[in-house]
Amino acid sequence: MKITLLGCGTSTGVPLIGCQCPVCRSSNPKNRRTRTSILVGHGEKNILVDTATDLYSQCLANHVLRINAVLYTHTHADHIHGIDELRTFNYLQREIIPIFGSEETMEFIRRVFAYIFNVTPIGGGKPLLETNAVEEEFDLFGLKILPLEIMHGSLPIFGYRFIEPGEKPKRFAYLTDCSELPEESKKELQGLDFLILDALRREYHPTHFTVEDATRVIAELRPGRAALTHFDHSIDYDELKGSLPAGIEPAYDGMVVEI
C-alpha cells in the first residue's frame, strides 16, 4: 500500500488568506498545507479519501493519473468541495467512478451536488459517479476496507481501516476530523502498521484532537508508525517535529508512506 498525504491543512488551508503570523509567512514548504485528503495506492488502483477543496492542485502536484474510487469521511465543505474535479478522471479512464460513505453522506452529496446526479442534461461536463452507502467491511480492488465510527464533536463520522491481505497483512487507518474514538472502534485499530490521526493544534478545540490528545491515543493504540494531520496555522512543522515522541511525525503535503 502506498499512502500519499495530498493535503494536511485545516478547512481554511495554511497560509490563511491575509494572515501575517510566522507560520503563514514561513518559507518552509512543509508549512504550506492544502485541505486534508489522502490517496491510497494498491497495485494499479488509486483510492482517494475525500474530494478536498484543493483536489485540482493536489492531483497536479502529486502526478495523480488515476482515481478509481472515492471514500468519504463526512460532508464538511473542505472534504467534499473538490468533487467536480473527478470528471477529468472519468474522461481519462472512460468509466464511472464509485464513491462510498455512510448513508447520510451519500444522501447529502446527492442533494447538495444535485447537478451531478440529475439526469437532465445541463450543458458542460459533469462527473459520472455511482454512490454506495456502506456500514460494514467491504472489498475494493483486493483491499479490505472497514468504515469506523469516530466522533467529530457531536457528529459521528467515518474513519477507515485498510487491510492489504498477504503473508503478512498490512494494516493502515486514516482518522481525520476526530475528537473522540468510541471503544468499539478502538478494538479495530490494534496492530496497525501505520495510523494517520487528526491533531488540529495544541489548544483545545471542541471537534478535533489536540496534539496532546492525538499523542495519547497513539500511545494507547501503539501503531508501528503514526502521522498527525489537519493542522491549522499555529503549528510550525519543524517545531512540532522536534517535540513529538519517537514513531510520531507531523504530516506534510506530498508525504508518501509505503507499508
Interface residues with Zn ion (CB under 5 A)?
Answer: 16, 19, 21, 24, 76, 78, 177, 233
List CB contacts of 157: < 8 A, sequence separation 6 or more. 73, 74, 102, 149, 150, 151, 177, 178
| Residue that the C-alpha cell 492525538 belongs to | 214
Question: Least distance to Zn ion from the beta carbon of 36, Å?
Answer: 5
101, 72 Cβ separation under 8 angstroms: yes
Cα separations in angstroms, 218 against 64, 175, 179, 197, 205: 30, 12, 13, 8, 18
Compare residues 182 and 191 and give the one whose CB is closer to Zn ion: 182
Question: Least distance to Zn ion from the beta carbon of 258, Å?
Answer: 25
Question: Least distance to Zn ion from the beta carbon of 183, Å?
Answer: 22
Task: Report the alpha-carbon distance of residue 259 to residue 249 in Å, rounded.
Answer: 16
Cα separations in angstroms, 46 against 39, 56, 75, 206, 215: 7, 16, 21, 33, 29
Compare residues 65 and 77 and give the one whose CB is closer to Zn ion: 77
61, 253 Cβ separation under 8 angstroms: yes
Question: Least distance to Zn ion from the beta carbon of 74, Å?
Answer: 6
Please state the three-class secondary structure of 1-59 as a single string.
CEEEEEECECCCCECCCCCCCCCCCCCCHHHCECECEEEEEECCEEEEECCCCCHHHHH
Question: Least distance to Zn ion from the beta carbon of 48, Å?
Answer: 15
Rg (CA), the chain: 18
Compare residues 58 and 68 and give the one whose CB is closer to Zn ion: 58
Compare residues 30 and 233 and give the one whose CB is closer to Zn ion: 233
Q: Cis bond leading into 29, ω under 30°?
A: no
| Residue that the C-alpha cell 442533494 belongs to | 111
Question: Least distance to Zn ion from the beta carbon of 153, Å?
Answer: 9
Question: Least distance to Zn ion from the beta carbon of 20, Å?
Answer: 7
Compare residues 177 and 253 and give the one whose CB is closer to Zn ion: 177
Compare residues 15 and 127 and give the one whose CB is closer to Zn ion: 15
Compare residues 13 and 127 and give the one whose CB is closer to Zn ion: 13
